[in-house]
C-alpha cells in the first residue's frame, strides 16, 4: 500500500493536540506533530534501522532537534563504530522482580485518593520488567506467559511464517522524504465480506488498504482463546486497579470480541516500530487490544504521555528537543517472550505510547530464526463503521483522535480530516469534538444497530 502521511505543520486551533499521523495504518502517529521528538525519532529510525533508539535520541539532542543535522551525525556514526563502552551502557541486563523487593507503585485509584505516586521510572532511563505482577502493577498492561499449548503456538507461528514473506513495509511521507516503516505487516479480518468492506470503506491515514486478508485457520482458533483470556483480564483489571472497582468512563461494558487483527513481522533485531498510540477511529475510546508474541523475544517499551501546559515551554522546564517533556518519566521495557499474550488495557492508547525497540542482539528462535511475529487482535465497533462517522469537507470519513498532551483538553476526543496526512493532498482543516456516552458509544449508535439488524435480516432472507 502506498500512501501515508504528509503534513505541513499546521495549527488548527487551540483545541488541536499535537498528534499527527502514523508509520503504519493502525497507528495514531508518532505523536507526530512535525516537531515532536517521537516523530523525528521515527524518521531517523526508518533511515537508520541499525541504530539503537537511545543513539538516535542522542544524535537528535546533540543537533538541537534538527533532523538534517542528526542525519549527518548518524551517517558518520555507523552502528559498528559505536564504542564498546556505549554498547555496554545500552546493554540491558536482567533485573530481578520488583515485587520481590516489596516496591509498591500506588495505582490510579490511590492517586485519586490523594496518595502521592512514587515514580519508579526516571527521565532518560529504562526500567525493565519481566514478571506478570510487576507488569500489571506498573503499566496499563497484563501478560500471560506460555499462553497457548506449545504445539498450538508452533502451529500458529508456522502458519504466519509462511505468510510473512508476502507482508509489506508501509511507506509514509515525513518532511519531503518517503520513508518505510521499519518492519512488515498485514491486516486480517474474519470474513470475506468484511475484507471487501475494509478495502472500500475504511480509511487509514487518508487511503484504503488494498491487501486485506481473511483470518487464517490457526489465527481463528487462537482468537477464541484470546477472547476468553482478554475478557477475564479486563474484569480482573477493573476490580483490582480501577477507582471503586468500576470500568473507566467510555470503556465498553460489552464482552470484548475480536474481529480483526494486524500481524507484524520483525525480521532481525534492527526491525522495530517507533513510539505511537494505536488509532481509535474504528475501535472507539478506551479500546482493549490482545497481542500475541511468537518467535524471537523482543522488548515492548511503554511510556506515559506527560501532559503539557501551554506555558511550560515559556518556563523552559526540563524540555526535550522539541520543547515537550515527553521523556520526563522515562520508559518501561516489557519483555515479550515466545507464546505470550499481552493485554493492552483501556487506559493504554489515550495515556501511553508503545514501541518495539531495535535490539542490539537477539536470541534466534528454533523455528522463527531471527523473526518475531506479533498478532494484535482488535475489536472493530459496528457503530464506528465509516458509513456513520462524520465526513470532512473533502468528503472522506474522519479520523478519531484523543487530546493526549494539552492539559486543558486532555482526554477529549475529536474527529479530524484524514487528508492532511495523505501525500499530495491538502487537508480541509475539518475539526469537530467527538461525543460518546459513558459506554463509549457515539450519538448514532442506535441507528447503527438498526441498520445492522436490517442488513442481517436481508442477508438471512437471501441465503
Ligand atoms: O509488535 C508489537 O508487539 C506491537 C505492534 C504494535 O504496536 C501495533 O501493531 O500497533
Ligand atoms: Fe501499536
Burial (CB count <10 Å: 0-12, 13-18, 19+), residue 246: exposed
pLDDT of residue 457: 58
Q: Which of 27, 147, 354, 378 to mutate to test the pocket of ligand 1 (most atoms within 8 A of CB)?
A: 354
Ligand nearest to the backbone CA of 181? 1
Q: State the pTM of this model.
A: 0.77
Q: Classify each residue of 302-337 as buried b or exposed e, where b means 16 or more C-beta atoms within 10 Å of its C-beta.
A: bbbbbbbeeebeeeeeebbbbbbbbbbbbbbbbbbb
Q: Which of 280, 283, 287, 325 is nearest to 307 (CA)?
A: 325
Give dist(CA 460, CA 449) in Å, integer. Answer: 16
| Cα–ligand 1 centroid distance for 62 (angstroms) | 29
Residue 376 and residue 262 in contact, taking contact as beta carbons nearer than 8 Å: yes
DSSP state of 204: E
Report residue 292: phi and psi, to 5°.
-100, 135
| Cα–ligand 1 centroid distance for 372 (angstroms) | 11
Give dist(CA 127, CA 141) in Å, integer. Answer: 15
**Which neighbouring-strand residues pair with 365?**
369
Taking the CA of residue 291 as reference, the ligand 1 atom at the shortest distance is: 3
Kindly list the protein residues whose Cβ atom lies closer than 6 A to any atom of ligand 1.
26-27, 262, 264, 273, 278, 291, 300, 354, 356, 374, 376
* Residue carrying the nine cell digits 506449545: 150
**Res. 444 pLDDT band, cuts 50 70 90:** very high
| Cα–ligand 2 centroid distance for 166 (angstroms) | 21
Least confident of 192-201, 222-231, 238-247: 192-201
Burial (CB count <10 Å: 0-12, 13-18, 19+), residue 176: exposed
In the predicted model, what is the mean pLDDT of the chain?
Answer: 79
Please state whether beta strands 212-214 and 399-402 pair in parallel, antiparallel, or not at all (unpaired).
unpaired
77-83 long-range contacts, CB within 8 A, separation 24+:
77/51, 78/50, 79/50, 79/51, 79/52, 79/55, 82/55
For residue 446, what is its C-alpha cell?
A: 442506535
CA distances to 21, 221, 354 from 186, rounded to whole Å, are 19, 19, 19
CA end-to-end span of the chain, whole Å?
34
Q: What is the DSSP string of 105-141?
A: ---HHHHHTTPPPPP---TT-EEEE-SHHHHHHHSSE
Ligand nearest to the backbone CA of 263? 1
**Which neighbouring-strand residues pair with 116?**
none
Angle CA 444–448–449, to nearest 5: 120
| Cα–ligand 1 centroid distance for 347 (angstroms) | 16
pLDDT in tens, 173-215: 565 666 778 999 999 999 989 999 999 999 887 788 899 999 9
| Cα–ligand 1 centroid distance for 194 (angstroms) | 22
Taking the CA of residue 264 as reference, the ligand 1 atom at the shortest distance is: 1
Q: Which of 187, 291, 352 to mutate to test the pocket of ligand 1 (most atoms within 8 A of CB)?
A: 291
pLDDT above 90: percentage of residues in the chain: 52
More confident: 15 or 260:
260
* Residue carrying the nine cell digits 519481566: 130
Radius of gyration over every alpha carbon of the chain, rounded to an integer in angstroms: 21
3-state secondary structure (DSSP) of residue 74 = helix
3-state secondary structure (DSSP) of residue 198 = helix
**Which neighbouring-strand residues pair with 354?**
276, 302
Residue 3 and residue 207 in contact, taking contact as beta carbons nearer than 8 Å: yes
Taking the CA of residue 300 as reference, the ligand 1 atom at the shortest distance is: 3
Which amino acid residue places its CA nearest to atom 2 of ligand 1? 374
* Residue carrying the nine cell digits 534492527: 270
Give dist(CA 396, CA 17) in Å, integer. Answer: 21
Q: Which of 264, 267, 302, 335 to mutate to test the pocket of ligand 1 (most atoms within 8 A of CB)?
A: 264
Q: Which of 356, 362, 371, 372 to mutate to test the pocket of ligand 1 (most atoms within 8 A of CB)?
A: 356
| Cα–ligand 1 centroid distance for 376 (angstroms) | 7
Interface ipTM above 0.90: yes
pLDDT in tens, 362-397: 999 999 999 999 999 999 999 999 999 999 988 889
Average pLDDT on 78-94 reads 40
Q: Which of 259, 196, 461 is nearest to 453 (CA)?
A: 461
Residue 135 pLDDT more than 80? yes
| Cα–ligand 1 centroid distance for 262 (angstroms) | 8
For residue 227, what is its C-alpha cell?
A: 477472547
| Cα–ligand 2 centroid distance for 266 (angstroms) | 14
In sequence order, which ranges of 286-404 are alpha helices (DSSP H)? 312-315, 348-351
Amino acid at each position: 500500500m502506498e500512501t501515508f502521511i504528509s503534513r505541513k505543520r499546521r495549527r488548527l486551533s487551540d483545541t488541536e493536540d499535537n498528534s499527527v499521523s502514523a508509520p503504519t495504518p493502525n497507528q495514531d502517529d508518532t505523536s507526530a506533530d512535525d516537531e515532536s521528538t517521537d516523530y523525528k525519532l521515527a524518521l531517523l529510525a526508518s533511515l537508520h534501522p541499525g541504530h539503537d533508539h537511545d543513539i538516535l535520541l542522542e544524535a537528535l539532542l546533540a543537533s538541537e532537534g534538527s533532523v538534517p543535522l542528526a542525519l549527518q551525525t548518524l551517517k558518520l556514526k555507523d552502528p559498528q563504530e559505536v564504542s564498546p563502552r556505549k554498547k555496554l551502557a545500552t546493554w540491558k541486563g536482567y533485573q530481578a522482580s520488583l515485587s520481590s523487593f516489596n516496591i509498591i507503585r500506588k495505582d490510579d485509584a490511590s492517586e485519586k485518593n490523594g496518595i502521592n505516586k512514587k515514580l519508579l521510572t526516571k527521565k532518560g532511563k529504562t526500567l525493565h520488567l519481566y514478571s506478570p505482577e510487576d507488569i500489571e502493577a506498573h503499566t496499563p498492561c497484563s501478560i500471560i506467559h506460555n499462553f497457548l499449548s506449545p504445539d498450538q503456538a508452533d502451529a500458529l507461528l508456522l502458519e504466519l511464517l509462511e505468510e510473512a514473506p508476502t507482508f509489506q513495509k508501509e511507506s509514509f511521507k515525513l518532511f519531503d522524504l518517503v520513508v518505510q516503516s521499519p518492519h512488515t505487516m498485514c491486516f486480517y479480518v474474519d470474513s470475506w465480506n468484511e475484507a471487501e468492506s475494509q478495502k472500500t470503506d475504511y480509511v487509514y491515514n487518508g487511503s484504503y488498504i488494498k491487501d486485506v486478508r481473511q483470518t487464517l485457520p490457526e489465527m481463528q482458533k487462537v482468537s477464541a482463546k484470546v477472547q476468553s483470556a482478554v475478557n477475564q483480564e479486563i474484569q480482573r483489571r477493573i476490580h483490582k486497579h480501577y477507582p471503586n472497582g468500576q470500568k473507566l468512563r467510555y470503556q465498553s461494558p460489552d464482552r470484548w470480541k475480536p474481529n480483526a487483527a494486524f500481524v507484524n513481522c520483525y525480521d532481525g533485531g534492527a526491525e522495530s516500530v517507533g513510539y505511537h498510540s494505536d488509532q481509535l477511529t474504528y475501535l472507539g475510546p478506551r479500546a482493549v487490544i490482545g497481542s500475541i508474541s511468537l518467535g524471537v523475544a523482543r522488548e515492548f517499551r511503554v511510556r506515559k504521555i506527560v501532559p503539557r501546559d501551554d506555558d511550560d515551554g515559556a518556563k523552559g522546564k526540563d524540555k526535550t528537543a522539541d520543547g515537550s517533556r515527553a521523556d520526563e518519566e522515562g520508559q518501561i521495557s516489557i519483555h515479550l517472550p515466545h507464546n505470550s499474550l499481552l493485554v493492552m488495557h483501556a487506559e493504554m492508547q489515550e495515556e501511553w505510547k508503545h514501541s518495539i525497540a531495535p535490539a542490539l542482539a537477539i536470541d534466534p528462535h528454533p523455528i522463527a530464526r531471527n523473526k518475531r511475529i506479533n498478532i494484535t487482535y482488535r475489536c472493530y465497533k459496528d457503530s464506528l463503521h465509516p458509513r456513520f462517522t462524520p465526513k470532512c469537507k473533502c468528503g472522506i470519513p474522519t479520523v478519531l483522535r484523543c487530546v493526549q498532551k494539552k492539559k486543558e483538553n486532555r482526554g477529549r476526543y475529536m474527529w479530524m480530516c484524514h487528508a492532511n496526512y495523505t501525500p499530495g493532498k491538502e487537508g480541509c482543516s475539518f475539526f469537530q469534538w467527538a461525543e460518546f456516552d459513558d459506554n463509549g458509544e457515539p450519538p448514532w449508535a442506535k441507528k447503527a444497530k438498526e441498520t445492522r439488524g436490517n442488513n442481517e435480516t436481508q442477508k438471512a432472507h437471501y441465503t
